[in-house]
Amino acid sequence: MIETDILIVGAGPAGSSAAKHGALNGASVLMIERKSEIGAPKRCAEGVSKDGLINLGIEPSSRWVTSEIDGVRLVSPGGTDVWLTQETVKLPEMGYVVERKVFDKFMAMDAARAGADIMVKTLAKGLERKDGHLIVKAESMGEEFEIRAKIVIGADGPESRVGRWGGLKTTFKPKYMESGAQFEMVGVEMENPNALEFYFGSVAPGGYAWVFPKGKDIANVGLAVISTLTEKSAYEHLVEFAQNCPTTKNATAVELNIGGDPVGGILKNISTDNLLVVGDAAGMVNPLTGGGIISGMRGGLIAGEIAAAAIKEGDVSANRLFEYDKRCEEELGESFGKYMKARDYLESLSDDELDSIAKAFNETEFERISTTELLKVLIKVSPKALLKLGKLF
């Protein structure tokens, strides 16, 4: 039997953030990861914002930054593109495209430097409550053992098994679970190798397609769809997109990743006695953009701080840990609620409506661009948006 104050299941960015801040606040921390290599395979477009990293106290490193972004290209179904670059507008949400296979390991190393222990190739197989603790059954390299923890943090991805074992409802409605597919490609022909490209409409029903540059002629090329809105798989949509898009039609895929992305906002309950869930496991993904690295790490920071404080106080009950739910709602939930409504609105638009909005955007002068500012402009140029979203912003 291994004993620890906090056990974290899953060594993605959210799990490592929880481990780091739990250890920094005085708790003994063990983080386990079922894969033999942290960060692989990636299931992510790999974009992070500069402000997000700054707020988390993380210095960018040339080891994991593949490109610095200075613009955005939005492409409508009819091919109308809207360019937003740092030369013409302020882009506070710009940032970097990272290499997750390196970034995730760096975040785990940060947790280790803070005092957390890490075990890779270690699978959590079950959980039970006993004498005010949680006992997790685990297996590593063919050996079975148990881990006794005062608090367990589930950072094990969408529809968390750890959360379900602990009594939380961690499933998402089908309309709020995107199916994503992504190639890493070489030979990509980008008009601006430092701009993110987004493609909207029937190319990716319920979501969008993207091209995220990773230096020279390399890029992540992917898309996400809602399976209830299409009869094709995300992979089939991706193959069609890559073959037909001028940016990627001459490129070659060197990697394929497929996975789910929860876009239903933060779950109703993300804590209970002795247990919290973070990151994708808690639905900490922007419902509009599908991005979850920075928000997941913010949730991990909150989880680590609150778990360590609760252990110091000797109270790991649901009532004490509910502070985690409240802080996450205050710091993430309000904006996610707005983005959820905006997402539902955009999903209702036809290709023709998206084309007309793109043309109106091209006739609009922007001073500052963020996700919120784009939505405010959308309300101005679209009567339908004013009716649906006018009260949000």
Instruction: Write out pLDDT tens, residues 339-348.
Output: 888 888 888 8
Instruction: Give a yes or no: residue 84 inside a domain.
Output: yes
- In the chain, the number of structural domains is 3
Instruction: Write out pLDDT tens, residues 255-282.
Output: 999 999 999 999 999 999 999 999 999 9
Instruction: Give a yes or no: residue 292 inside a domain.
Output: yes
- pLDDT for the residue numbered 337: 86
For residues 60 and 149, membership in a common domain is answered with: no
Mean of pLDDT values over 172-186: 94
Domain limit, last residue, from 260, 275, 303: 260
pLDDT-based confidence at 364, cuts 50/70/90? confident
User: Which of these, 229, 225, 194, 239, lies nearest to 72 by C-alpha position?
Assistant: 194
- pLDDT for the residue numbered 126: 97
Can you tell me the distance from the alpha carbon of 124 to that of 319, in angstroms, rounded to the nearest whole number?
A: 26
Residue 144's Cβ-count burial label (10 Å; 0-12, 13-18, 19+) is exposed
Would you tell me how many other CB atoms lie within 10 Å of the CB of residue 1? 7
For residues 118 and 151, membership in a common domain is answered with: yes
Which two tokens mark 354? 């998206």
For residues 227 and 82, membership in a common domain is answered with: yes
* pLDDT more than 70, % of the chain: 96
For residues 105 and 153, membership in a common domain is answered with: yes
User: Which of these, 79, 124, 76, lies nearest to 353 by C-alpha position?
Assistant: 76
Mean of pLDDT values over 384-390: 74
**74 or 364: which carries more pLDDT confidence?**
74
> Which of the given ranges, 147-156, 255-264, 334-343, has the highest pLDDT on average?
147-156
CATH of residue 250's domain is 3.30.9
CATH of residue 109's domain is 3.50.50.60
Instruction: Give a yes or no: residue 339 inside a domain.
Output: no
Residue 300 has pLDDT above 80, yes or no: yes
Range of the domain at 24: 2-45+101-173+264-334
List helix spans (H) across the chain. Answer: 13-24, 50-55, 100-114, 161-165, 234-244, 293-313, 318-328, 334-347, 351-362, 371-381, 383-389
For residues 295 and 270, membership in a common domain is answered with: yes
* pLDDT more than 90, % of the chain: 77
Instruction: Write out pLDDT tens, residues 7-38.
Output: 999 999 999 999 999 999 999 999 999 999 99
Q: Which amino acid is at 325?
A: D
For residues 207 and 79, membership in a common domain is answered with: yes
What's the chain's average pLDDT? 92
Predicted structure pTM score: 0.93
For residues 220 and 158, membership in a common domain is answered with: no
- pLDDT for the residue numbered 346: 86
- pLDDT for the residue numbered 369: 65
Can you tell me the distance from the alpha carbon of 292 to that of 307, in angstroms, rounded to the nearest whole number?
A: 21
Residue 368 has pLDDT above 70, yes or no: no
Instruction: Write out pLDDT tens, residues 134-144.
Output: 999 999 999 99
Domain limit, last residue, from 227, 245, 260: 260
For residues 254 and 299, membership in a common domain is answered with: no
> Which of the given ranges, 42-51, 260-269, 271-280, 325-334, has the highest pLDDT on average?
271-280
For residues 201 and 227, membership in a common domain is answered with: yes
Instruction: Give a yes or no: residue 383 inside a domain.
Output: yes
Instruction: Write out pLDDT tens, residues 54-93.
Output: 999 999 999 999 999 988 899 999 999 988 877 666 555 6
Can you tell me the distance from the alpha carbon of 273 to that of 202, in angstroms, rounded to the nearest whole number?
A: 44
> Which of the given ranges, 84-98, 193-207, 354-368, has the highest pLDDT on average?
193-207
User: Which of these, 67, 89, 106, lies nearest to 211 by C-alpha position?
Assistant: 67
- pLDDT for the residue numbered 292: 93
b/e map 315-337, b = 16+ CB within 10 Å: ebeeebbeebbebbeeebbebbe
For residues 190 and 254, membership in a common domain is answered with: yes
For residues 142 and 33, membership in a common domain is answered with: yes
Domain limit, last residue, from 260, 281, 311: 260
- 8 Å CB contact between 125 and 137: yes
Residue 223 has pLDDT above 60, yes or no: yes
For residues 8 and 124, membership in a common domain is answered with: yes
